Amino acid sequence: MLKRILATNPVTLGWDWGAGLLGDALGEWESFPGVRKFLGEWVRHHEQMGTSLMDEGGWHWKAGAGTTLLRLESWSPSDQRRRWIEALGRHVLESPSGPGGIWLTKPERREIWIDTLATACPFVARAGAAGFGSDWLSKAAEQICAHSELLQCPRTGLWAHAWSLKNKRSLGCFWSRGNGWAIHAMVEVLCLTGTRREPRLASILENTCRGLLAVRKPCGNWHTVLDDPTSYIETSGQALLVRGLSKAARLGLVSARTKPGARKAAQLGWVGVASHVSDSGEVTGTSLGTPAGSRSGYTSRPMASWPVWGPAATLLAAREMDFATIQPTQKSRSARTG
């Protein structure tokens, strides 16, 4: 899969949300031949375009690409790149917000979407840990907690896709990819802050993990609408859940009671993800961009092989499976390197 991605022209990737996630996932494979060159060419292309890095608006969506800027800065320090990172972080933190300072994903509609967590919070937290803002780590954790108050169901622990401040109601369903965005953000921030420093965030993660364990199929899969057993299995959502559950268990971010179940669920779930990676490295079964709407909008959403968040989520899961030292099957081995 890595070889297939690296064979594409990096200048075809935009400077947006999906490409940012893919860049972040590739960065976790930095020792793989060609990864650093690919990411460097991608960033240089957008540097040369001039307006792509810091043009007005859409800061939450650009934040995912900011994690690649952070990696490049660690590999080869640059004063210009540090200025970009600092500016991007400030733009994200100062972006339009609602009550309590919660970020508005769609300011014109006064809506908060779970997708924002997956890009903006890990970037802000990592930039804070790298010394760009003394309070950025805590601000990233605060945003996840604020989002949970509106999006997370207190009974099930699952997350709705979005919330309308205007109408004061949730939008969408308990969507697997959306819950994947949430657990990804929580685990990445807690990796840097620790559960003792952020006990509230740790509690939210615990409830999320328990909710996910309660709705998975015995074979280890999750439906694209988590509480609808008639909906299909979707690759990117499943991969993000596998990654989050495994990493939370491996790093002790969940309780001793939850850890064994999370670890087992990740192992079984990974088999399902790997079955969607072909011998040529193509990732199938990823749903297209999904608006927060009716249940039928999720269950009938078309799937394809190259929305970039499919390979991105699969690469993230594969990297975690390596770290978790799970004995791979032949198929999962293909998913990691093919």
We report the CATH number of the domain holding residue 166 as 1.50.10.10
Domain boundaries, position 329: 2-337
User: CA–CA separation, 129 vs 255, rounded Å?
Assistant: 25
What's the pLDDT at 49? 75
Question: Given phi > 0 = left and psi -120 to 50 = alpha, else beta, which region is 84?
Answer: alpha
pLDDT digits (tens, 9 = 90+) for 57-104: 788 888 999 999 999 999 999 999 999 999 999 999 999 999 999 999
List phi, psi (to 5°) of 132.
-85, -20
Mean local confidence (pLDDT), 178-193: 98
Buried b (16+ CB within 10 A) or exposed e, 272-284: bbbbbbeeebebe
The yes-or-no verdict on residue 202 having pLDDT over 70 is yes
pLDDT > 70 in the chain, percent? 94
User: CA–CA separation, 6 vs 26, rounded Å?
Assistant: 9
The burial of 270, by beta-carbon neighbours within 10 Å (0-12 exposed, 13-18 middle, 19 or more buried), is given as buried
> Between 83 and 50, whose confidence is greater?
83
3-state secondary structure at position 199: helix
3-state secondary structure at position 175: strand
Mean local confidence (pLDDT), 250-264: 97
How many structural domains does the chain have? 1
> What Rg value do the Cα atoms of the chain yield, rounded?
18
The yes-or-no verdict on residue 333 having pLDDT over 50 is no
User: CA–CA separation, 8 vs 153, rounded Å?
Assistant: 41
> Between 54 and 311, whose confidence is greater?
311
pLDDT digits (tens, 9 = 90+) for 206-247: 999 999 999 999 999 999 999 999 999 999 999 999 999 999
Nearby residues of 5 by Cβ (< 8 Å), 6 or more positions away: 22, 26, 38, 281, 311
